[in-house]
């Protein structure tokens, strides 16, 4: 399949590399391909400059967000920073029309000015906006009425999403939510190709609220496990 991955961060890289390995033709979206390729500094998460990473992954095609979305047959993965995703995706609504968009972004606001900050090893915990009565997934669906939005992947590190068997032999749970059954099926099929066997359909896209709010719990579990987990752990719904 021709699949687009919008985003050059660590998560987007994990999906792009895995999809390439699975034999797909992968189009990666960025704001400005030339600017992205000329970066020489690691990104804010410490990932090496994209051009350097790309040299180790021949076969990937780097395009603008709109060109990458247009190149996909059906499936587009959103890995654009959550705070900027609605604006960036709205700009390419025409190229996304008729396609399935699987969104794993978290609507984090970094450096929030809060009365009782939650200190983390890397600063104050970002806050979520929207939260509780809305979600980024729903905002994206409202902005893109001709696109079928599915929220998934968001409850894990993306390196684990593309390689679930690296944790507990793969015996953990992945969630999907969305208002379009065919789109959820397409995402479920992709997850199975990544190696997932326990995929729980939470129902309509409103369930994206819970998945996004889980981000704080995911961080807390990571801090609780400490260095040894390296952010790599799974959650399982036992039933
Ligand atoms: N990494 C993970 O394992 C993981 C796990 C769960 C959830 N998430 C969430 O998923 C989202 C993506 O995470 P990530 O780590 O893959 O990447 P990221 O570093 O959070 O975001 C990188 C992407 O966001 C784009 N971007 C940044 N500012 C922008 C702006 N003002 N306008 C348009 N685009 C902008 C960048 O564009 P350029 O390419 O042009 O630089 C880049 O493609 C985040 O919300 C994150 O919290 C990540």
Q: Residue 100: give its domain's CATH number.
A: 3.40.50.720
The residue range of the domain holding 82 is 2-229
Chain centroid to Cα 46, Å, comes to 18
pLDDT, one tens digit per residue, over 78-100 is: 999 999 999 999 999 999 999 99
How far apart are the CA of 206 and the centre of ligand 1, in A?
22
Rounded CA-CA distance 178/180 in Å is: 6
Q: Could you report the per-residue pLDDT of 166-189, keeping only the tens digit for each? A: 999 999 999 999 999 999 999 999
Residue 237 lies in a domain: no
Residue 26 lies inside a defined structural domain of this protein: yes
- pLDDT on residue 202: 98
Among 7, 41, 126, 159, the mutation site with the greatest number of ligand 1 atoms within 8 A of its Cβ is 7
Helix axes 208-225, 136-143, angle to 10 degrees: 140
Least Cα distance to 152 among 165, 142, 162, 144 occurs for 162
CA 198 to each of CA 13, 149, 192: distance values in angstroms, whole numbers, following the listed order: 24, 21, 9
Q: What percent of the chain has pLDDT over 90?
A: 88
> Tens digit of pLDDT for each residue in 116-144?
788 887 788 999 999 999 999 999 999 99
**Can you tell me the mean pLDDT for 56-72?**
98
Put residue 52 in one of left, alpha, beta given phi > 0 → left and psi -120 to 50 → alpha: alpha
pLDDT in the model for residue 61: 97
What per-residue confidence (pLDDT) applies to 103? 99
Token output for 66:
């709109």
Q: 37: which 2 tokens?
A: 């390729």
Residue 188: the pLDDT is 98
Q: Is residue 188 part of a domain?
A: yes
Residue nearest to ligand 1 atom 22, measured at CA: 9
Over residues 204-229, mean pLDDT: 93
Convert the pLDDT of each residue in 5-57 to its tens digit: 999 999 999 999 999 999 999 999 999 999 999 999 999 889 999 999 999 99
Residue 122 belongs to some domain of the structure: yes
**Ligand 1 closest atom vs CA 47:** 19
Give the confidence band of 65 by pLDDT, cuts at 50, 70, 90: very high
- Nearest atom, ligand 1, residue 88 CA: 33
CA angle 149, 155, 156 (to 5 degrees): 115
In a domain, 234, yes or no: no
Q: Does residue 136 lie in a domain region?
A: yes
> What was the pLDDT predicted at 53?
97
Residue 209 resides in a domain: yes
**pLDDT of 112 above 90:** no
Ligand 1 neighbours by CB, cut-off 6 Å: 7-12, 30-31, 36, 43, 45, 79-82, 84, 88, 104-106, 108, 154, 157-158
Instruction: Give a yes or no: residue 75 inside a domain.
Output: yes
Q: What is the pLDDT of residue 149?
A: 99
* pLDDT value for 113: 76
Give how many domains the chain has, as a whole number: 1
Cis ω for the linkage preceding 130 (within 30 of 0): yes
């Amino acid at each position: 399949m021709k699949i687009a991955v919008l985003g050059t961060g660590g998560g987007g890289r994990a999906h792009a590399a895995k999809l390439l390995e699975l034999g797909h033709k992968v189009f990666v979206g960025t704001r400005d391909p030339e600017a992205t390729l000329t970066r020489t500094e690691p990104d804010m998460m410490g990932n090496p400059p994209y051009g350097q990473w790309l040299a180790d992954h021949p076969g990937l095609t780097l395009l603008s967000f709109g060109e990458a979305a247009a190149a996909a047959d059906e499936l587009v993965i959103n890995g654009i920073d959550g705070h900027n995703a609605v604006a960036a995706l709205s700009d390419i609504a025409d190229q996304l029309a008729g396609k399935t968009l699987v969104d794993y972004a978290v609507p984090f606001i970094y450096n929030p000015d809060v009365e009782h900050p939650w200190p983390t090893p890397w600063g104050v915990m970002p806050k979520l906006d929207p939260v509780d009565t809305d979600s980024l997934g729903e905002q994206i669906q409202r902005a893109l009425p001709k696109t079928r939005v599915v929220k998934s992947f968001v409850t894990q590190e993306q390196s684990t999403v593309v390689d679930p068997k690296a944790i507990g032999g793969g015996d953990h749970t992945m969630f999907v939510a969305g208002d379009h059954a065919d789109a959820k099926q397409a995402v479920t099929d992709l997850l199975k190709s990544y190696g997932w066997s326990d995929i729980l359909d939470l129902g309509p896209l409103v369930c994206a609220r819970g998945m996004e709010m889980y981000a704080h719990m995911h961080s807390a579990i990571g801090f609780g496990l400490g260095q040894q987990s390296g952010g790599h752990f799974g959650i399982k719904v036992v039933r």
